[in-house]
Amino acid sequence: MGVFDWKHWVVLLVVVVLVFGSKRLKSLGSDLGESIKGFRRSVNADDEPTPPAKIDQG
């Protein structure tokens, strides 16, 4: 019996659902997912090389 026993996780899940409610957990999950997607987009945008600026020598 350790921290990762499945019975402990079931009890913890039941307590969290009772405290927060399933509707609030659903919105929290979708908000977290959108945050992760936004973070990934920003990291990928930073990885793309920017073209060098052209200098007008006229």
pLDDT, averaged in runs of 10, over the chain (58 residues): 80 89 84 92 74 68
Q: Which amino acid is at 26?
A: K
Which residues have C-beta within 8 Å of that of residue 17, sequence separation ≥ 6? 25
- Residue 16 counted as domain residue: no
- Residue 31 counted as domain residue: yes
> What range does the domain containing 30 cover?
21-45
Which residues have C-beta within 8 Å of that of residue 25, sequence separation ≥ 6? 16, 17
* pLDDT score recorded for residue 25: 81
- Residue 10 counted as domain residue: no
- Residue 27 counted as domain residue: yes
- Residue 4 counted as domain residue: no
The Cα 37–Cα 12 span in angstroms is: 27
